[in-house]
Structure formats: structure tokens, C-alpha cells
Structure 1
């Protein structure tokens, strides 16, 4: 079994994508590693903005009771405060990644920061629940515009082993932002008070957004020679957008209704139409939004599928445990957030290490991480079923730490392996497709885990048993992701690169 080799430079990978636009390589402004000392600073700026947008996926959860009290929000409005953000976030990922590839990642990065920051201020000053829901929808658009540019910048700025380390930092950012959201939300509410503290959950984004916008202008170089407008595939954008909405809407809806079935069917048909249209564009020699040859790149399809499945369990863990801590054990928002800290600590500890190891050990790092995650979830579920009362949080610390250590070996190495053979000129689009799968997985996982938790709670009145049911669904997702990882590992072994 040969050693996994890090991705080479574009000129060493000719023929990777026979349908790729030949102008993409000519437009790549990336310096050789070591020649641009600003590349790590540019990455730090990008990751700070990415952390801010990903944090808003989970930080708002602990503030929902305060929002309900302050704005007299209905249950449906509270649902949309959470799920509306995920919906619009996923809606624009691929299109904005494509625009970043075509028109310049710095420009799209700045647009994303601007939209997200302005919407955050509107959310923090919202006089009524309707205003808050609308602001969260726009916030999601800003986050969806910004995030594909980050993975695109990593592909653009880094080569070889440095790329693995850069993706390691991206994985750390993803893992910590998701896990630490409830903690920071709890701290803000404790300091600012439960009545108005929820506003500062959004308003803290203002100084961060302004600072990252200014620093991005300084450290991230613009890309010249934008593609002509006729190559931007608006039909593909509309079809894909309709498909994403059709698939996500039923998942983020608070109850299944007839319209959800119609939307789901329409979403599947729109995705099929998008696939047909993109093939048609490629046959005519035009530039489609997503070059379908992307999925024939070694490791891309398997990595994207693994990410979708893993995120369906990964984010469900925090959702069900936050509910269990507060509703089942009577924890405060801060205590509930602190109860999840071991996972965040473990993920942070191994994400950067995983980024360094993946260049040598390849998919084996991800498979090993998934084994640790699965073991940690089994132990977490057993600890909850043991019913230790208010001390349960302490009993869960070690199992959650183990699961977090495993998660750090999954997220960033999988991103690195998924994107390693993608041409730089398609990096934003590829990152957008990858993250769209993650958003779909997140929405599906929260919907499934939440349904199992609430159904179990209604049937038995036992919060520990209900949480156990939800965690089993998260464990099942991790087990499926493990199977996908093992299959891809076997394929890589046959090719001589694991």
C-alpha cells in the first residue's frame, strides 16, 4: 500500500478535468508557497468570517426562550429563526461559489460579509418577530455567499502539505463554531441578561464583520479577467436553487403537510432538470454552473456523500443534547453550553493534527476518526440511560471528549481529500457543492433527531429515554459514514493511494 500523496500543482495534474475551462488555469493568481507571506494572514481573516457565520447556526438556540418572551414570538416563528437561516444559507452556496470562481473570490467574500453584517444588525434591533425572521433569512444568504470562497481561497493560495494544514484550520473552525455556539450564547445571555441579551447574540457580529471586511481588502488579492456574463449559467442557478429549496423546505418545516410533499417532489424534479441542463451546457461547449466531470474526480463524490451523511448526525448531537440538558435536567443556557464543551475541545485538539496527518495517511485518518465518534456516541447514550440526574453532564464529559477527538479527524481531512484533485478554477463551485450537501445533511439530521426526541418525550415523559433515541439516530449516521469511508479507502488502496 503506497503512501498517500498530497495534491500537486495544477500544471502537474493536466488532464484531471478534460472539460475544464482552459482559461481557469491562466486566471489563477496563486503564488508559489513561501513567496507570499500574506497567505496565512488571508486565511486567518477568511476563517474568522467563516467562524462568525457558522456560529450563528447554533448560537441562537439557547436564546429562543428569551426571544419568545421579548417579542411574543409564536412557535412557528421561533422555528423559522433557526431553520430559515439554514434554508437560505444552503440555497446560495453553489451559485456564489461559481460566481467566486468567475468574478473573483475577494469580491464575493466582501459581498457576503456585508450582507451578513447588515442583517445581523437588523436582527439585533428587530422590533417584532417578523423582522427577526426576515433578518435571519438575509443572514443566511450572506453566510451562503461567503463560505464557498473560503475553501476556494485555500485551493488558490496553498499547495502540497500546506494545503492539508490550511484545511486543518478550516476543520477546526467548523468543529469549534458548531460546538461552542451554545456556550457563547449562554455567556452572552448571562452577561447581558435574558430579557435583552438575545439582541447581543446578533449585534456582536457588527465589529467582527467590519474588521474582517477591512482586513480582507488588504490581505486577499483580487482575481483579474472575469468571465463574461454569458458564461454564468443563470438557468442552472434557478434550477439548482429550486431544487435546494424543494429539498430543504420540508426538512426545516415544523410539521409535515401536503405542501411539503409537493415541494419535495418538485425539488427532486428540479435537481434532475439541473443535471440534464448542465450536461447540455457542457455538450454545447458552454460553461455550466457545475461541471459534472467534477464528480468523476478521484475522491470527490465519495467525500461529498460522506460529508452529507456525517453532518446529518454531527449537528443532531448538539441539538438533542441542548434540549436534554435544558428541558430534561433543568440546566441554564450557560450550563447546557458548557455541557457540550468537551466535544468542542476534543474537535479543536485533533482538527489541525488531522490536517497534517491526511497528507501521509489519507482516508485512514477519516475512518479512524469515525470509529472514535461512533464509540463516543455509544458511551454517551449509555451514560444518559444510566440516569445520573443533574450530574449527568459530568458523566457525559469523557464520552463527548472522545467523540470530539474523532470528529476532528473527520471534518478537515475529508474536506482535504474531497477537494484535492479539483482544479483551482473550480474550487469555489466544488466547495459550494460540498457545503450544500452538508447543509442538507444538517437539516435532515436535526429534523430526524428532533422528531425522535419529541416523539419519545411525548410517549414516555422520560427526557433521558427521548435523548437516547435521538442519539441512536446520530450514531446510525456516523456508522453509515464509516461504511462510505471504508469503501473509499478500499478503492484508493486499489489505485495505490490511500
Structure 2
């Protein structure tokens, strides 16, 4: 990338060593809270519907609004953090997240909750790009791999633990008002973390020459609008009576994305810094890592919703029981993320390839169990298969992020992290929509569309269990296909890297022979 005047941002060499692990701890805790809110609300939806008399469209926006707003601001927040101060953006986002969590827990109407969830998603989107950028800034070499390993653990835990934690909160505080605790639990934790973030996160560099800062507002608006229109049809997909007209939003979304690319090129030709540096996109390690992340998040995020639907609606499990079945995924993902973080500096893309193979094996086994074994035995078998997939997932997420950001300079780490996470949010929306649409269409095809909501009774007929097992099997196949796509991309990248290493070696040998 072309060198530019030094920004008044944090310099990686100035960060005191004694604070970097403390700063990482704060980043991971806040990242866990914001990512947890993507999944934890799902188990509280019946409680919200009953307490606030929420309609189906309001429930959709309570869930989708957060994800949509989250994805909307990731790249702009990363860019602003790079230009000004990641610490200030992080603290502002955290303060906003605490306030909106309190508001969400105290609202008295479903419409108000949907609006607050939009605001909460924006504040979460302000924080998360700074997490990746701060890791990139404070850590180098093998330490960076371990730090990303810890972040990978956070992602895995936040995704898989959501149903269990949400179910536990509902069990403690009751079905009627327990959903409020799902939001209010963030408040005391956030208040503890706020002063720690202000104290330990790296401060802007003092005394640096200040270059004229350029924030590409037009580019940010184009990208934001394209992101919203691209995600909206997917986040509003429930598989139950959805309007096909929603897919028309993809057309203006694609046109705006093209307009964004053309505008960014224009900015570059005029010597101004675009939102996303063109050389960043042309960096193979970054672009391939982003594509692997999109495909993998599309595959693995959809797993948890269809598994939860199967366990609660198909087997009659309570929310906390459904969460317990998925806990082995989170535990193994966390353990193997640490291993992956340590190994990636030595084994490179091979770690990700192995992880994706293991995930694929776990999902294929889960497919077989779902289609053939029901009841408690089926749930136990499913949990074991998810444990295998979780072990593989730990070898995918953090090593892939480490490799994707390996050649990215710290000065643009925020926008790079924003691009990666936007891709992950888009991938998640696509994967969840595809898996749930297949799930519900299978249930509806068996004439159980009405029973799908009533099947949470204590005794579920065997015929209903079998239909829901088939629906889960079909949903898991969608996820498996997306994971296999990520595997193909990772293998291609691994071969490219090996070829590059061999080419460099041959060039070195030839040079020595000439000498």
C-alpha cells in the first residue's frame, strides 16, 4: 500500500507492553457482549411476544434490526477509528451499548423495542472493528496469533452459548418478564468495563504531525446503502409466508455496490483516500481470507438456529435444554481456537483447511443423526456431532483472521477489520436465511406448519419428531455445502501459498548459482 502521512492515531510501538493483554481482555469481554446479542434474543422471542403482544413483523425487526444496523456501520466505524482514535470509538460504542441495553430492558411496547434494537446494533457495530484493529496494532508475530485465537474463542462462545444463557436467564426470572434480563444483564458488565477501556486501550499518538484528514462521506453512504439492501431480504426471511418481492431489493443493492466501486476508483485517481484502499482488496491474503470468512460464517451461523428450532419445536426441549445440547460446540471451539492461534504462525493456511474438514465431518455426522435418530438419544448424538464441528471451528475462525490481516498495515487495520466483519455479517444473514427457509419448507411440506409452533409440548408425537428431524437434516445440508465452499477456497489459497514459496525458493537458488 502507498505510504501516507502519519495519522493522529495510535502507534503500535508506543503501546505499553504491560497493558496489551489487559486491553485484549477488555476488547474480548465487550466483543462477547455485542456478538452474544445476535443469538441470545432468539430464545427470548416467545417471552417478548407474550409480554409486549408483539406482532410477527415487530418480532422480525427486533431480531433483524440489530443484525442489519450492526452490519451497516462496521466499515464506517473502522475507517473513522483509523483516522481519529480507536480508543474513543470503542468507548463511545460501549457507552451507547450500555444505554441501549438498559432501554431495551425497560421498554413498554414492541415497536419501541424494535427501534432500540436498531440503535443497539449501531453501537455494537462501532465497537467491533476497533477490536480487530487494536489486536493488529498491539500484537505481532506469534503473540498476534494467540490474541486472534482468543478472539476466535470469543466468537465461538458468543454464538453457541447464546441459547443456553438466554434459557438460563428466562428460567431464573420467569417466562413473562425474563426477556428483560437478557438485555439488562449487559448494563452492570458494561459499566465495569467502561473505565477499564478508557484506562487500558491505546491512546492516540501524541505530538505526531497532523495530516489533512479525508473522510469519504459519499463512499460511506453508498456502501452503507448497498449493505442494507443486500442484507435486508435475508434477515427478513423466516420461511413462513415471506413475500418474494423482498428479493427485488438485491437489484438496487447491487447497483449501489457497483456505484461504490466506481466512486472509490475516482477518489483514488484524485489522490484522495477511499473508504476501502484498493490495494487492500488486491492483497491476496486479505481478499481470500475475507471470502473464506463469508462462506464459513454463512455455513456455521445457520446451524444454531435450525438446531434450536428442532430441539424446542420438534423434541419439546426447554430453551436451557436446547442450549445445553449446543454447549459442547462452544467448549470445543474455544479450546481449539487457542490451539489454532498458536499453530497458524507455523502451519499457515493448512490449519484452516484441517479445521474445515473437521467441521464438514461433524456436520455430515449430524445430518445422519438428525435423519435417523430422534428423542433424547438423537439429541445426545447431535450434541456429540456438534462437539466435533466445534473443534474444527476453533481451527478456522481465528487462524483465518490472522492470515487475512497478516499483510495489512496497522494504519488501515480498522477498516480492514470492518470489511472482514461486514462480510461475516452478510454471510451469516445469507446462511441463516437459507437454512431456516429449507427447514420451514420441509415442515410445511409435511402439513405441520401449524404444529411447528405447538410442538413445544411436553410430549411430542413420534411422527412430528421425525418430520422435524428431516427438516433439520435438510437445513444442515445447506450449512455443509457452504462449509465445503469455504474449504475449496482455503485449499486454493493453500496451493497458491505453497507455489509462491516454491517460486521464491527457486529464485533464491538461481541467484546463488549466478553468484
Q: Secondary structure at the residue paired with 1:289? A: coil
Query: Once structures 1 and 2 are overlaid, which stretch shifts more, 363-372 or 387-396?
Result: 387-396
Query: Per the alignment, do residues 124 and 226 of structure 1 end up closer, same or farther by CA in structure 2, a change over 3 Å counting?
Result: farther
Partner of 2:400, secondary structure, is helix
**1:382–1:36 distance in 2 versus 1, CA, 3 Å:** same
**CA distance in structure 1 between the partners assigned to 2:182 and 2:300 by the alignment:** 23
Following the alignment from structure 1 to structure 2, what is the Cα–Cα distance between the partners of residues 226 and 374? 51
Report how far residue 388 of structure 1 moved.
2.8
2:374 is aligned, of 388, 397, 401, to 388
2:500 corresponds in structure 1 to 495
Instruction: Work out the CA distance in 1 between the residues paired with 2:245 and 2:484.
Output: 32
477, 481, 487: which one pairs with 1:476?
481
Higher mean C-alpha displacement, 466-475 vs 207-216: 207-216
Indicate conservation of the 8 Å contact 2:10/2:202, yes or no.
Answer: no
Tell me, what secondary structure is at the counterpart of 1:31? coil
Question: How far off its partner does 1:79 sit?
Answer: 1.4
Q: Distance in 1 between matches of 2:400 and 2:31?
A: 18
Instruction: Quote the residue 1:4 is aligned against.
Output: none
TM-score, normalising length: structure 1: 0.93
Displacement of 1:226 in angstroms is 9.4
Residue 29 (str. 1) matches residue 11 (str. 2): yes
Task: Determine if the alignment matches structure 1 residue 272 to structure 2 residue 258.
Answer: yes
User: Cα RMSD between the aligned structures?
Assistant: 1.7
Q: Which residue of 2 aligns with 1:195?
A: 176
The residue number in structure 2 matching 1:417 is 403
Q: Secondary structure at the match of 1:38?
A: helix
1:239 aligns with: 222
Return closer, same or farther for 1:258/1:378 CA change in 2, 3 Å cut-off.
closer
In structure 2, the partner of 1:172 is: 153
* Conserved 8 A contact 2:39-2:162: yes
Once structures 1 and 2 are overlaid, which stretch shifts more, 241-250 or 382-391? 382-391
Bigger Rg, structure 1 or 2: 2
Distance of 2:153 and 2:494 partners within structure 1: 23
Query: Among 350, 363, 375, which residue is 1:377 paired with?
Result: 363
Describe how 1:111-122 pairs up with structure 2 within 5 A. Answer: 111-122=92-103
Structure 1 window deviating more from structure 2 (116-125 vs 217-226): it is: 217-226
Q: Deviations over 1:440-462 (max 9, x none)?
A: 00001111111000000011241
Q: Residue 89 of structure 2 aligns with which residue?
A: 108
Contact 1:104–1:226 (CA<8 Å) still a contact in 2?
no
User: Aligned partners of 2:305, 2:44: CA distance in 1, in Å?
Assistant: 13
Residue 323 (structure 1) aligned to one of 291, 296, 309: 309
| 1:348 aligned residue (319, 334, 339) | 334
The 2-side partners of 1:125 and 1:28 are apart by: 37
Tell me which residue corresponds to 1:486: 491
- In structure 1, list runs of 5 or more residues that go unmatched: 1-16
1:55 is the counterpart of 2:75: no
Structure 1 runs, 4 residues or longer, greater than 6 Å off: 226-229
Q: Which runs of 5+ in 2 are unaligned?
A: 449-466, 505-515
In 2: Cα distance, 1:313 partner to 1:347 partner: 15
Aligned length: 479
1:74-95 Cα shifts (integer Å, max 9, x gaps): 1121111111111000000000
Question: Following TM superposition, by how much is the alpha carbon of 1:245 offset from its aligned partner in structure 2, in angstroms?
Answer: 0.7
Asked whether the equivalents of residues 298 and 421 of structure 1 are also in contact (C-alpha less than 8 Å), the reply is: no
User: Aligned pair in 2 of structure 1 residues 468, 345: CA closer, same or farther (>3 Å)?
Assistant: same
Matches of 1:398 and 1:231 in 2, distance apart? Answer: 52
2:252 is equivalent to residue 294 of structure 1: no
Over 3 Å counting, the alpha-carbon distance change for 1:229 and 1:213 in structure 2 is farther
Report if the CA contact (8 A) 2:73-2:224 is conserved: yes
Residue matched to 1:6? none
Equivalent pair of 1:102/1:227 in contact (CA under 8 Å) = no
Residue 230 (structure 1) shift: 5.4
| TM-score normalised to structure 2 length | 0.90
SS of aligned partner of 1:285: coil
Q: Post-superposition shift, 1:21? A: 2.4
Q: What is the aligned partner in structure 2 of residue 184 from structure 1? A: 165
Q: Distance in 2 between matches of 1:36 and 1:364?
A: 31
Contact 1:103 1:227 survives alignment (8 Å): no
Whole-Å separation in 2 of the counterparts to 1:155 and 1:420: 9
Deviations 1:187-229 (A, max 9, x none): 1011111111100000001011111111011101221469777
Q: Which residue of 1 aligns with 2:469?
A: 464
Q: Give the match's secondary structure for 1:496.
A: helix
Residues 351 and 409 of structure 1 are in contact (CA less than 8 Å); yes or no, is this contact kept in structure 2? Answer: yes
The 3-state SS of whatever aligns with 2:316 is: coil
Picking from 394, 400, 405, the partner of 2:386 is: 400
- Deviation for aligned residue 1:23: 1.8
